[in-house]
């Protein structure tokens, strides 16, 4: 493999010394970029981009041509695993992802297959290989998956939901069914992420988008326990380097200490938790990623620059911080505001790494 020219992101995740704070953005390849919208329009729909390795590579690289980012993230979707299990993923305009065959009983869960990443999900692995080749070692490539709990919410609810009634009914009335589903998903995610690493991903991230809707007890039982299983089963070294793993639970700031105990290298933090508080909670155990409110990118460039200063000061001096948004960039953000954000991190962060 080509030697990595910029490894500041990987070094920060491992809390090694860096000369500045690295930056990338969740959903950095996406609808806020006109060049992405052009590719998607030509492809016909979102999944047609995901399932074409050359197009997935193109949109992965688009933000790197515009901005001085320190990592690329695979262009894909968290629902590729449920789709490969046979649930029939499709997207309704204005409503987000839906499944033709949501899980309704124990029998349907018991019948779920565990996808082979190099068979049913081969298009993802081919995308990883293509992106690594085209990156030419400029920056590392991040692979990712949804967490078992987050995937289960979509699979049981049949799509997006506001109250999580069906999946919580299963959790509390039929916990054995939900645990069977979560166990299968933990196995599937572990295989999937390890296959991404084998294909060339140099770091991986687990997105627990909906862990924050659970109580502390239920979070530990239905979300964290299964992310722990994945962390325990991941390949942690490839190409002679550590492969860092990041866990991110949206609205999960109260559980950062528990998340740090999993053995993950880094934790994502959203904007509802102050980085100083997060750093105090985890001590020296893990790096932290975050955590500007994505809506701040609607502000003026000067306001964005001021917010970057505030967040850098909140984390304070030292290593182990990856600057990011607290969740994905909104599709209606002006790319010039994203540029102001990224440039500000490059300008102001070196002072914290003396």
pLDDT at 236: 97
332 assigned binding-site residue: no
Report yes or no on 208 lying in a domain: yes
209 assigned binding-site residue: yes
User: How many Å apart are CA 127 and CA 73, to the nearest integer?
Assistant: 11
Residue 206 phi, psi dihedral angles, 5° rounding: -110, 120
Report yes or no on 81 lying in a domain: yes
User: Pick the catalytic residue: 70, 77, 208, 265?
Assistant: 77
The CB density around residue 340, as the number of other CB atoms within 10 Å, is 19
- Look up the CATH number of the domain holding residue 101: 3.20.20.210
Note down the domain range covering 103. 24-276
CA distances from residue 247 to 161, 169, 224, 300 in whole angstroms, order as listed: 22, 26, 10, 31
In DSSP terms, 290 is beta-bridged to 323
98 assigned binding-site residue: no
Angle at 301 between CA 296 and CA 302, to 5 degrees: 100
In 3D space, the residue among 199, 265, 206 whose CA is nearest the CA of residue 236 turns out to be 265
User: How many Å apart are CA 260 and CA 174, to the nearest integer?
Assistant: 30
105 assigned binding-site residue: no
Question: Would you mind telling me the total number of residues written for the chain in this entry?
Answer: 354
Quick check: is 27 catalytic? Answer: yes
Q: Which helix (H) or strand (E) holds 135?
A: helix 122-135
pLDDT at 96: 83
Report yes or no on 242 lying in a domain: yes
User: How many Å apart are CA 155 and CA 50, to the nearest integer?
Assistant: 19
CA distances from residue 50 to 30, 45, 55, 128 in whole angstroms, order as listed: 12, 9, 7, 11
Taking each helix axis as running N to C, give the angle between helix 148-157 and helix 175-199, from 0 to 180 degrees, rounded to the nearest 10.
Answer: 120
Quick check: is 217 catalytic? Answer: no
Question: Tens digit of pLDDT for each residue in 128-162?
Answer: 999 999 999 999 999 999 999 999 999 999 999 99
- Per the listing, tokens 């998903």 go with 185
Q: Which helix (H) or strand (E) holds 176?
A: helix 175-199
Quick check: is 126 catalytic? Answer: no
Quick check: is 40 catalytic? Answer: yes
User: How many Å apart are CA 309 and CA 79, to the nearest integer?
Assistant: 35
Give 72's DSSP letter.
E
Report yes or no on 36 lying in a domain: yes
279 assigned binding-site residue: no
233 assigned binding-site residue: no
Enumerate residue ranges in the chain where pLDDT < 70: 1-2, 94-95
pLDDT at 1: 54
352 assigned binding-site residue: no
Number of domains in the chain: 1
Q: Which residues contact 125 (CB under 8 A, 6 or more apart)?
A: 117, 118, 195, 196, 199
126 assigned binding-site residue: no
Quick check: is 154 catalytic? Answer: yes
Report yes or no on 297 lying in a domain: no
Write b or e for each residue in 60-89: b if 16 or more Cβ atoms lie within 10 A of its Cβ, otherwise e: bbbbbeebebbbbbbbbbbbbbbbbbbbeb
Report yes or no on 136 lying in a domain: yes
Report yes or no on 311 lying in a domain: no
User: Pick the catalytic residue: 32, 154, 219, 315?
Assistant: 154
Report yes or no on 291 lying in a domain: no
């Amino acid at each position: 493999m080509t030697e990595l020219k910029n490894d500041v992101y990987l070094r920060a995740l491992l809390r090694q010394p860096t000369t500045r704070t690295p930056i990338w953005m969740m959903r950095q390849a996406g609808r806020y970029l006109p060049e992405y919208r052009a590719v998607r329009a030509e492809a016909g729909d979102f999944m047609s981009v995901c399932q074409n390795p050359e197009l997935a590579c193109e949109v992965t690289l688009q933000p790197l041509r515009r901005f001085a980012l320190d990592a690329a993230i695979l262009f894909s979707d968290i629902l590729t695993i449920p789709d490969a299990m046979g649930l029939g993923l499709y997207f309704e305009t204005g409503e987000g992802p839906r499944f033709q065959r949501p899980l309704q009983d124990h029998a349907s869960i018991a019948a779920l297959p565990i996808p082979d990443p190099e068979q049913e999900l081969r298009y993802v692995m081919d995308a990883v290989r293509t992106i690594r080749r085209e990156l030419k070692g400029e920056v590392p490539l991040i692979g990712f998956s949804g967490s078992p709990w987050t995937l289960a919410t979509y699979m049981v609810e049949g799509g997006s939901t506001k109250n999580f009634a069906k999946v919580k009914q299963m959790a509390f009335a039929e916990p054995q069914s939900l645990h069977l589903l979560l166990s299968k998903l933990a196995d599937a995610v572990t295989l999937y992420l390890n296959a991404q690493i084998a294909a060339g991903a140099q770091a991986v991230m687990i997105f627990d988008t909906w862990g924050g809707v659970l109580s502390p007890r239920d979070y530990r039982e239905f979300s964290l326990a299964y992310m722990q299983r994945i962390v325990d089963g991941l390949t942690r070294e490839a190409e002679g380097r550590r492969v860092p793993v990041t866990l991110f639970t949206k609205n999960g700031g109260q559980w950062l200490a528990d998340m740090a105990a999993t053995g993950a290298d880094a934790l994502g933090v959203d904007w509802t938790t102050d980085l100083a508080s997060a750093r105090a909670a985890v001590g020296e155990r893990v790096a932290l990623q975050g955590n500007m409110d994505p809506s701040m990118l609607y502000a003026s460039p000067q306001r964005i620059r001021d917010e970057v200063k505030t967040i850098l000061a909140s984390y304070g001096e030292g290593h182990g911080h990856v600057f990011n948004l607290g969740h994905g960039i909104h599709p209606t953000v002006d790319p010039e505001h994203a540029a102001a954000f990224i440039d500000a991190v490059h300008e102001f962060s070196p002072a914290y790494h003396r």
